[in-house]
Structure 1
Amino acid sequence: MKSLLLFITSILLVIYNSKFCHSKEVWVEAEGEAAIAGITAEQARLLALQRARAAAIEKAAGVRVSSITLVTDARLSGEFIKAFSRGYITKEKCTWDKSIYQESPDKPAVFAYKVKLRAKVTIVEKDTKPGFLLEAKLNKSVFKSGEKVKIFLKPTENAYVAIFNWRADDKIALLFPNQYCTNNFIPEGVWFTFPPRDSGLVLRVKTLPGHKQDTEAIYVVAFNKDIGSSICFWDLFPSSIPLEVASFFSKYIQLPVEKAIEKILVYQVKQK
């Protein structure tokens, strides 16, 4: 069987009216800062932005926000991505600056990127069907560049799912359904594996050029059968068109997201 190779790091939903969704939209301001220490300048810039995004969502959601904005540990990137389980940024405006960071007098100073973010955040009051749950996991949480990824899902009710890749280049792309695997229905209580066995699809991860390590995530969305059967993810989010984070969520919130179950599975990719 012909095998199709999909690289996650180089690998979106239909537009529906959610007028009846209980949600609020607010503009908030937040800051983030990341030192260029052990990572590339590009990674530090993204890490600062991710810190600011997480703070903006927490502020909009009424969660206490830490006054510490400087990030020195790139592994926190995954935790910042998980903040999107509380809300969605649909617009963002950034003002950038640089600063000098020195951990202690006996250590050299390094540059740090600092961002002031003004973000439009949507907070949705979830209204999922009682008893409708989703188990989601990966075969590993830390991968070596070139290794295969497998995603495992099991809903407690008949469901339609979509799987997205939150990439290291800060873009989000649809992995499933796709032109090779169009049926995204999963029966209740049954483990579904992506890529499916005998599908000819292979999912491999790799670090971005010049990076020793990257943090990415699998973003899983599930709707119960009654709602999900009318959603055509493939038409709304063509996998050939990765979207910027705010652009992705500006489309995503037009779905009945109050009925959606979402799982964010963070993983790391390291050079061999």
Structure 2
Amino acid sequence: MAQNPAIVRKPSILLLSSIVCSVLFFLFAPCTSAETDTGDLREVIAEGRAILGDDTTPAQAKALALNDARRIAVERAAGVMVRSSSVVYNSELISDLISAFSKGLIVKEDILSEGLRTEEGHAAYVCRIKATIKPLRQRKQKDIRIIKAEVSRADRPFSSSAPVFQDNDEIRIRVKTEGDLNINVFSVSQDGRIALLLPNPYVKLKQVSGGQDFIFPDESMRSSGFKLRVHTPKNLTRAYETIVIIATKEQKDFLSSKDRDATLSDLMGELSLLEQSSWADATIGYEVRR
């Protein structure tokens, strides 16, 4: 399990590993789902699976199967294919960053069953979930968007390719928006736990001027001791992490009532209460190796 974020006097925030990447040689079997319409909310039972390859850990397969089930659930509830961003690293790694925010939000999620099984001679991790989803019907044309979202090592230039970091590397994030927006930055673990990176007790919510680069943390923050570092979970030699950026027209206090065990579903539930045209999102995926 990934480490929780930690802020110290000379703060260094430890990022979490996430569910949203897959390895090229993973083979996915078909997923099944069932749907119940409960008015504005739809309850979907979906099953995802991932076949274990030679270099696949059970933890990675579990994360992939859960992510696959979530994708199927949102697609069925919203009636569309969820948009995604795919980045290939060295022809081996495919980061399938599923952004369910555009067509449907998972506001509640329960894992009904999960575990390893043998299918046609292959070991597969199968995860079955019951998800409550709010399909999003955009009423107004969005006049805001995130133009750019990138991550790099603190001493390296930014790049649009999917980076690979070493355990304890210091990183920074760059965001550019269309329109003056308030930036919220989150890190998501492979089991769905979410950590709020910005704002935090040391850095308040930042409104970014449209068309200008916002770098977090910037040089002044880093000079004062505020740094972001990536870490692999205990007992794993590599992990796939994701940064979620939510930009809003008005200042919002996300996850203020949640404790350290807040989940991605908690954030989605709060987003579902907002007018869809009032916020934009971006996700950044990368790999961390020990």
TM-score, normalised on structure 1?
0.76
Residues 183 and 205, structure 2, Cα contact 8 Å, conserved in 1: no
Question: SS of the counterpart of 1:249?
Answer: helix
How far did residue 252 of structure 1 move? 3.3
Q: How many residues align?
A: 238
Question: SS of the counterpart of 1:52?
Answer: helix
Give a deviation string over 1:114-134, Cα, whole Å, max 9, x none: 122221111212356654222
| RMSD between superposed Cα atoms in Å | 2.8
How far did residue 174 of structure 1 move? 0.7
Stretches of structure 2 lacking an aligned partner (at least 5 in a row): 1-8, 18-38, 83-91, 153-158
2:74 pairs with 1:41: no
More helix by share: 1
2:253 pairs with 1:232: yes
Residues 30 and 118, structure 1, Cα contact 8 Å, conserved in 2: yes
Give a deviation string over 1:186-220, Cα, whole Å, max 9, x none: 12222110112211311111111122221121111
Residues 220 and 263, structure 1, Cα contact 8 Å, conserved in 2: yes
Aligned residue for 2:247? Answer: 222
Q: Are the structure 2 counterparts of residues 257 and 198 from structure 1 closer, same or farther at C-alpha, using a change threshold of 3 Å?
A: same
More strand by share: 2
Aligned residue for 1:14? Answer: none
Q: Pick from 133, 137, 147: which aligns with 1:121?
A: 133
- Alpha-carbon distance between aligned partners in 2 of 1:169 and 1:98, rounded to the nearest angstrom: 17
Structural mapping, 1:236-251, within 5 Å: 236=257, 241-251=260-270
Residues 74 and 100, structure 2, Cα contact 8 Å, conserved in 1: yes
- Alpha-carbon distance between aligned partners in 2 of 1:134 and 1:213, rounded to the nearest angstrom: 29
Question: SS of the counterpart of 1:150?
Answer: strand
Q: Are the structure 2 counterparts of residues 84 and 157 from structure 1 closer, same or farther at C-alpha, using a change threshold of 3 Å?
A: closer
Tell which has more relative contact order, 1 or 2 (C-alpha 8 A, sep 6+): 1
How far did residue 85 of structure 1 move? 4.1
Residues 54 and 84, structure 1, Cα contact 8 Å, conserved in 2: no
- Alpha-carbon distance between aligned partners in 2 of 1:137 and 1:167, rounded to the nearest angstrom: 18
Residues 126 and 259, structure 1, Cα contact 8 Å, conserved in 2: no
2:229 pairs with 1:173: no
Stretches of structure 1 lacking an aligned partner (at least 5 in a row): 11-22, 66-73, 103-108
The runs of at least 4 aligned residues of structure 1 exceeding 4 Å deviation read 127-130
How far did residue 89 of structure 1 move? 1.1
Q: Pick from 5, 8, 11: which aligns with 1:4?
A: 11
Residues 80 and 103, structure 2, Cα contact 8 Å, conserved in 1: no
- Alpha-carbon distance between aligned partners in 2 of 1:157 and 1:251, rounded to the nearest angstrom: 22
How far did residue 257 of structure 1 move? 4.1
2:241 counterpart letter in structure 1: E
- Alpha-carbon distance between aligned partners in 2 of 1:177 and 1:41, rounded to the nearest angstrom: 34
Which segment drifts farther, 149-158 or 249-258?
Answer: 249-258
Q: Are the structure 2 counterparts of residues 164 and 245 from structure 1 closer, same or farther at C-alpha, using a change threshold of 3 Å?
A: same
TM-score, normalised on structure 2?
0.72
Give a deviation string over 1:117-153, Cα, whole Å, max 9, x none: 2211112123566542222222262222222221111
Residues 145 and 206, structure 1, Cα contact 8 Å, conserved in 2: yes
2:285 pairs with 1:269: no
